[in-house]
Amino acid sequence: MSVTSPLGFDAAGIAAGIKASGAPDLALVVNRGPRQAAAAVFTSNRAKANPILWSEKVILDGQVAAIVLNSGGANCFTGPRGFQVTHQTAEAVGEALDVSAGDVLVCSTGLIGDQLDADVLVAGVHTATSVLSADGGDDAARAIMTTDSVPKTALVSGDGWSIGGMAKGAGMLAPGLATMLVVLTTDADVDAAGLDTALRAATRVTFDRLDSDGCMSTNDQVTLLASGASGVVPDAAAFTDAVTAVCRSLAEQLQADAEGASHNIAIEVVGAASEDDAVEVGRSVARNNLFKAAIFGNDPNWGRVLAAIGTTEAEFDPYAVDVSMNGVRVCHAGEPDAPRDAVDLTPRATHVLIELHSGDATATILTNDLTHDYVHENSAYSS
């Protein structure tokens, strides 16, 4: 179950020598058609990596033959030379596959500010093209890992078609538009405009609501490639639902593998005046270090939840809010309710319910706790 599960796709994942460890670091996914339609969403960070600058141009005509991804270096803030490395990588894929470099997307992930070696990348592309296979999806998923501890893949089947996916990401998890590196493939027969609509609808309620550490990446990209190899034109709503299901599965896998985390926290906001309000409230809590540290300590410190909500512009009356943790209402109408020790926060899965009583809108934000291991992983070495 990965990007090669749908018909019409080959993939490879190899060790090109970008990572000093010798671990796999270059992935290639090729769309064999008959259709080569694509859509992508990119980070909204204004500091964009070179592969983002390149891929934003490639996607414009909705035609993509292949996507090449490397870990071991973000190729971000590496100047014109870094852009040239991205360009050379796409050219190498184009030559090897006999397609236009302008139909090749490039993604990179790793440390910001280090130059990649173009010769190593080009040699890696040649190796990857020589081992492309309809079973290569799992290798590809492994080759895009950075601080991930496990590869992340997903598969959802429709009526005669399917959607596969792979993702990487464990830190800098806070999307603006897209997040992390994600490649989705489908053999459904959908044109680029249809892919774009489905992908934006799906990412808006999945990756855009994952906010592990509040830090937005410079390299995020989510790509959806369609081969049309099933010959089936799907119902649009069913297709969007399937894309959303794949994205949700991958988002939950990213949350579960977030750097150093000991709790997966779902912050469910209900009774908001608007969906935007619900997202703003959920995100304010997800980004509050004191709340996140309290959850690490299994402390149902609801005062920190309310203090975070108070920093938003959302419509709410602080003295009407209810807060529950793992099913126990600890705050009712802005006052203490059940005693704190009635709450069991020892399970990894943590549910925080915030009832605003200001309307009917709702949203759930996924986040993680702030732990010693998070600090360790992000201070002990550069990433």
- Which residues are known catalytic residues? 179
For the chain, how big is the Rg over CA atoms in Å?
A: 21
**Cα–Cα–Cα angle for 245, 246, 248, nearest 5°?**
65
Q: Is 354 exposed, middle or buried (0-12, 13-18, 19+ CB in 10 A)?
A: buried
Of 4, 288, 324, 368, the residue at the interface with a copy of itself (CB under 8 A) is 288
Please count the helices (runs of H) and the strands (runs of E) in the chain: 10, 15
Sign of the C-alpha dihedral computed for residues 367, 372, 375 and 379 taken in this order? negative
User: Which span (122-130, 150-158, 352-360, 372-380) binds a copy of itself, by CB under 8 A?
Assistant: 372-380
271 near a copy of itself, judged by CB under 8 A: no
Q: Which residues, 71 to 90, sit near a copy of itself by CB under 8 A?
A: 74, 76-79
Ligand-binding annotation for 262, yes or no, is no
Distance CA 27, CA 147 (A): 16
Distance CA 58, CA 9 (A): 19
Ligand-binding annotation for 378, yes or no, is yes
Pick from 217, 213, 135, 158: nearest CA to 182: 217
Total of residues contacting a copy of itself (CB under 8 A): 62
Ligand-binding annotation for 203, yes or no, is no
Between β-strands 322-325 and 349-355, what pairing exists: parallel, antiparallel or unpaired? antiparallel
Residue 346: half-sphere exposure toward Cβ, Cα within 13 Å: 3
Distance CA 339, CA 344 (A): 11
Q: The tokens of 207 are what? A: 């990756």
Would you say 231 or 297 has its CB closer to a copy of itself? 297
Q: For the window 185-224, what string marks contact with a copy of itself as x by the rule CB under 8 A? A: ----------------------------xxxxxx------
Q: Which residues, 116 to 175, sit near a copy of itself by CB under 8 A?
A: 171-172
Ligand-binding annotation for 146, yes or no, is yes
Q: For the window 28-67, what string marks contact with a copy of itself as x by the rule CB under 8 A? A: -----------------xxxx-------------------
User: Which span (228-236, 240-248, 291-299, 350-358) binds a copy of itself, by CB under 8 A?
Assistant: 291-299
Q: Where does 289-341 have alpha helices with state H?
A: 289-296, 302-309
Q: Which residues, 92 to 111, sit near a copy of itself by CB under 8 A?
A: 111
Closest distance of CB 217 from a copy of itself, Å = 7
Q: For the window 321-350, what string marks contact with a copy of itself as x by the rule CB under 8 A? A: ----------x-xxxx---x----------
Contact 367/283 with Cβ under 8 angstroms? Answer: no
Closest distance of CB 218 from a copy of itself, Å = 5
**Residue 350, CA distances (Å) to 212, 249, 268, 287, 366 in order:** 14, 17, 11, 16, 10
Residue type, 198: A
Of 117, 299, 342, 361, the residue at the interface with a copy of itself (CB under 8 A) is 299
Distance CA 43, CA 83 (A): 17
For the annotated binding site for substrate, the residues are: 146, 168, 179, 259, 378, 383
Q: Would you tell me which residues interact with a copy of itself (CB under 8 A)?
A: 45-48, 74, 76-79, 111-115, 171-172, 176, 213-218, 287-290, 293-294, 296-297, 299, 301-304, 306-312, 318-319, 331, 333-336, 340, 370-372, 374-376, 378-382
